[in-house]
Amino acid sequence: RMGRTLVELYYDVISPYSWLAFEVLCRYRHIWNIELRFRPAFLGGIMQQTGNKPPAMLPKRGEYMLKDMKRMAKYYQVPVHMSGDDFKRIIGTSSLAAMRFITAMDMTNPQYLEPLSREFWMRFWSQHEDISQPESILAAARQAGVSAELSQKTLEMISSPAVKDRLKETTAEALKHGAFGMPAVVAHYDGKPHLFFGSDRLELLGSVIGEKWLGPVPS
C-alpha cells in the first residue's frame, strides 16, 4: 500500500469520545489507505494549557452529553455506559497515572498499546471501575494479556523522568497541532497536518484524505 496517509490519534482514556474515535479508526485502518498511530497524551494538561473546561461543567451541556453518549454508543457499537454520577467520577479521577502507564508500555512493549488502552476504557466507561490506583492499573494490564511481571515493571517506570517527559512531549505535540480537547485526530496529508476534533468528524477526515466513509461500523 503505497503512500499511506499517517493518521495520529491523540487520546486519553478518561475521555469517552476518544474511545469512540479509537474503535472506529481501528475498524478503518484496513479499509482506508492509512497508517494509524496511537498517541497517548494527557487531557488534563491540554485543558489547563488551553483554558478549556469539561462539558459537564455546564449543566445543560452535561444533560445533553448523557443522551448524546447513549445514542453514540449504540450507533458506534462501543459499550460506553454513562450515568449522571459519571461527571463526579470524571472530575474526581486523575488519568495521569494511567496515561503514564500506557506511555511506558508504548515505549517498551508497543504491541500491548491497543489492547491496554481499550481495557482502561472498558474498566472506566463500561464497568465503572477505578483506573487511578496502582492495583486497578495492574488489573487493566492483566485483562489486556500483559504478564504480572511486565505489568509490575511497567508500573515502576511511571515515576521515571523518561516516561513523564514522553507524555509531556506527546501532549505538547497535540497542542502544537491546535488541540484543545480529545480526541484530537491529526491527518498528515498533502504535506501538512489537518486537525479534526471529536469522534464525529471521521467522515470529514475521510473526505479530506480522499477515502470513502462507510459509517462507524463498516462491514
Query: What are 122-158's pLDDT values in tens digits?
Result: 999 999 999 999 999 999 999 999 999 999 999 999 9
The reply to whether 201 falls in a domain is yes
d(CA 65, CA 58): 10
The reply to whether 218 falls in a domain is no
For residue 15, indicate whether it is catalytic.
Answer: yes
CATH of the domain at 141: 3.40.30.10
Q: Which domain holds residue 69?
A: 5-209
**Catalytic one among 15, 18, 95, 117?**
15
In one-letter notation, the amino acid at residue 78 is V
The reply to whether 217 falls in a domain is no
The reply to whether 81 falls in a domain is yes
- The pLDDT-based confidence of 116 (bands split at 50, 70, 90) is very high
Has this prediction a pTM greater than 0.75? Answer: yes
Angle at 33 between CA 39 and CA 191, to 5 degrees: 70
d(CA 60, CA 201): 23
Buried b (16+ CB within 10 A) or exposed e, 30-66: eebebebebbbbbbebbbeeeeeebebeeeeeeeebe
The reply to whether 43 falls in a domain is yes
Domains in the chain: how many in total? 1
DSSP 8-state symbol, 192: E
